[in-house]
């Protein structure tokens, strides 16, 4: 097959990278992510005060060049590796050394999109997740002198203010999956081990190198990118990310992803991403597609109402809620009361419809109170960190004071206490010092609670022997 001819800018950026004999040796202490996804009619640059190169293209070019060199110098990685690992590495390097790896995502045209292919109603997040990473580079034949000089300057110019160059940020900048350099020492062993586990989970989905496996990897990474590029992600980061320090923005974001976000939560966002990848890696392609169908929909909403007549794809919405993606808040009628799992990333339950039967509320709560739940992960982290007050699932039963709702709540609570006694629970009853619902002007302010032990004789009469 004849070699691919690159367009002027692609050609000279490609040649410049190919001349590197090793990663840039510039200091890693002042890395700056100065390049960004800026698109125009030309996929590589925009005209203005300065040229800004396409980071996706440069990433692919670096991978391609290094794969070619490793194939030509097997002694640098071959020695001491098991035979199976050497064979797999050889296959992967051969795949990356092809020029299609630079032109298409994972070297496959079916996984790539031109800028014009982006859905017209897609949100900016979807454009980045589905277009930038999936960039398709149309190539021309002959380079132009002006283009060559512009690319050469963009790649070799040292930024002012001690910032790192664009190639340096690509090779050794803060990275969620491969955190390297002195700027990410704050991660410690726990953060680096977490990053390693995430890499292993991604590898598990593409370890056979089939076309289908690369397609699955693309879907999963698109989902992760979409989750991390949502505008509200900044609200989920700890306040320390926004402190006034000399830390680069990219390093600060990475640190925030690995630190507890606060608000009673101990699991960092990176931990949620790891759990998300673990779930996806254990699914087959069909189940994984269903799991991501709503969350990756450009029209997905943060708050979704699901009723028997809402007309939405209920299974898709429920699956999306069980991921770190959309929706964030799920409002359900009785259609979400049983037979579904909503526990993986949920830690708040609000019973806005109380009902009369405490078993009904327990059944609803059971959708999120399960093995492997978000609440259980938080509890395990609290135990590991020596926290005395262990967190749990936050359950709210709101009612309007002075209305029929309060009477229903009072009866519901009494029945729940009776049920506890009948099944051998704690033989005590709580007593309100003040019966607030008798006052129609009471706004439901908190009242004192006192626990009164029940007489032994009463307990024995009420208790039911469930032995067979």
Band (pLDDT 50/70/90 cuts) for residue 161 is low
428-432 and 449-453 beta bridge pairing: antiparallel
**Confidence (pTM):** 0.76
pLDDT at 459 over 80: no
Contacts 24+ apart (CB under 8 A), 431-434: none
Tokens found for residue 3: 């070699």
Phi/psi of residue 376, each to 5°? Answer: -70, -40
Average pLDDT, the chain: 76
The vertex-246 CA angle with 242 and 247, nearest 5°, equals: 60
329-332 and 303-306 beta bridge pairing: parallel
| pLDDT (0 to 100) of residue 446 | 47
Cα 334 to Cα 336: distance, rounded to the nearest angstrom: 5
* pLDDT > 70 fraction of the chain, expressed in percent and rounded: 72
Cα 278 to Cα 276: distance, rounded to the nearest angstrom: 5
| pLDDT (0 to 100) of residue 32 | 24
Torsion of CA 318, 409, 396, 449, to 10 degrees: -160
Tokens 């009361």 appear where?
A: 337
- Highest-scoring range by mean pLDDT, 50-64, 69-83, 124-138, 358-372: 358-372
| pLDDT (0 to 100) of residue 31 | 22
Rounded average pLDDT over 276-303: 87
- Relative orientation angle of helices 249-258 and 269-281, to the nearest 10 degrees: 70
pLDDT at 164 over 80: no
Band (pLDDT 50/70/90 cuts) for residue 350 is very high
| Lowest-confidence pick of 83-92, 119-128, 223-232, 398-407 | 119-128
CB atoms within 10 A of CB 334: 12
CA distances from 423 to 114, 420, 453, 467 (A): 64, 5, 17, 11
pLDDT at 329 over 90: yes
408-441 pLDDT, tens digit each: 888 888 888 887 777 766 555 554 444 443 444 4
pLDDT at 274 over 90: yes
| pLDDT (0 to 100) of residue 367 | 93
| Lowest-confidence pick of 49-63, 293-307, 384-398 | 49-63
Cα 47 to Cα 409: distance, rounded to the nearest angstrom: 65
* Contact present, 324 and 273 (Cβ < 8 Å): yes
| pLDDT (0 to 100) of residue 346 | 93
Band (pLDDT 50/70/90 cuts) for residue 115 is low
* Contact present, 327 and 320 (Cβ < 8 Å): yes
Question: For the chain, what are the domain ranges?
Answer: 1-173, 175-292, 301-396, 405-462
| pLDDT (0 to 100) of residue 438 | 41
pLDDT at 290 over 80: yes
17-40 pLDDT, tens digit each: 555 434 433 322 222 222 222 233
Band (pLDDT 50/70/90 cuts) for residue 335 is confident
pLDDT at 227 over 90: no
pLDDT at 48 over 80: no
Rounded average pLDDT over 105-121: 75
- Highest-scoring range by mean pLDDT, 9-13, 20-24, 53-57, 202-206: 202-206
CATH 3.40.50.300 fits 301-396, yes or no: yes
| pLDDT (0 to 100) of residue 64 | 85
| pLDDT (0 to 100) of residue 29 | 25
Rounded average pLDDT over 51-61: 78
Rounded average pLDDT over 172-179: 81
* Contact present, 315 and 290 (Cβ < 8 Å): yes
| Lowest-confidence pick of 7-21, 150-164, 237-251 | 7-21
| pLDDT (0 to 100) of residue 245 | 63
């Amino acid at each position: 097959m004849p070699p691919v001819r690159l367009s002027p800018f692609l050609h000279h950026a490609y040649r410049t990278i190919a001349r590197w004999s090793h990663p840039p040796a510039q200091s890693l202490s002042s890395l700056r992510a100065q390049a960004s996804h800026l698109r125009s009619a030309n996929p590589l640059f925009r005209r203005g005060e300065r040229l800004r190169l396409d980071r996706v293209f440069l990433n692919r070019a670096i991978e391609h060049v290094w794969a070619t060199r490793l194939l030509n110098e097997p002694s640098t990685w071959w020695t001491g590796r098991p035979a199976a690992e050497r064979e797999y590495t050889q296959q992967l390097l051969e795949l990356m050394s092809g020029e299609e790896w630079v032109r298409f995502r994972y070297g496959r045209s079916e996984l790539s999109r031109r800028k014009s292919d982006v859905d017209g109603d897609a949100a900016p997040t979807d454009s980045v997740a589905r277009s930038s990473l999936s960039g398709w580079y149309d190539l021309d034949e002959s380079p132009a002198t002006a283009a060559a000089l512009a690319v050469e300057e963009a790649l070799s110019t040292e930024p002012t203010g001690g910032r790192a160059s664009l190639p340096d940020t690509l090779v050794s900048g803060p990275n969620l999956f491969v955190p390297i350099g002195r700027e990410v020492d704050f991660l410690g062993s726990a953060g680096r081990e977490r990053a390693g586990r995430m890499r292993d989970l991604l590898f598990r989905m593409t370890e056979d190198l089939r076309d289908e496996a690369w397609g699955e990897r693309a879907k999963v990474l698109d989902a992760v990118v979409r989750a991390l590029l949502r505008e509200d992600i900044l609200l989920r980061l700890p306040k320390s990310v926004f402190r006034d320090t000399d830390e680069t923005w990219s390093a600060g974001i990475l640190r925030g992803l690995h630190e507890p976000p606060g608000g009673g939560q101990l699991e960092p966002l990176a931990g949620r991403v790891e759990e998300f990848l673990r779930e996806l890696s254990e699914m087959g392609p069909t189940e994984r597609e269903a799991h991501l169908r709503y969350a990756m929909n450009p029209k997905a909403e943060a708050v979704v109402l699901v009723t028997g007549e809402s007309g939405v794809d209920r299974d898709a919405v429920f699956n999306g809620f069980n991921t770190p993606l959309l929706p964030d808040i799920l409002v359900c009628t009785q259609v979400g009361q049983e037979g579904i799992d909503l526990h993986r990333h949920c830690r708040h339950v609000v019973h806005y419809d109380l009902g009369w039967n405490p078993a009904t509320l327990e059944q609803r709560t059971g959708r999120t109170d399960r093995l492997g739940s978000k609440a259980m992960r938080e509890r395990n982290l609290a135990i590991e960190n020596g926290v005395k007050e262990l967190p749990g699932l936050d359950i709210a039963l709101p009612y309007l004071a002075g209305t029929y709702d309060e009477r229903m709540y009072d009866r519901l609570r009494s029945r729940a206490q009776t049920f506890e006694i009948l099944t051998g629970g704690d033989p005590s009853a709580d007593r309100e010092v003040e019966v607030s619902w008798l006052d129609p002007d009471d706004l439901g302010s908190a009242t004192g609670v006192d626990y009164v032990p029940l007489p032994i004789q009463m307990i024995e009469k009420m208790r039911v022997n469930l032995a067979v």
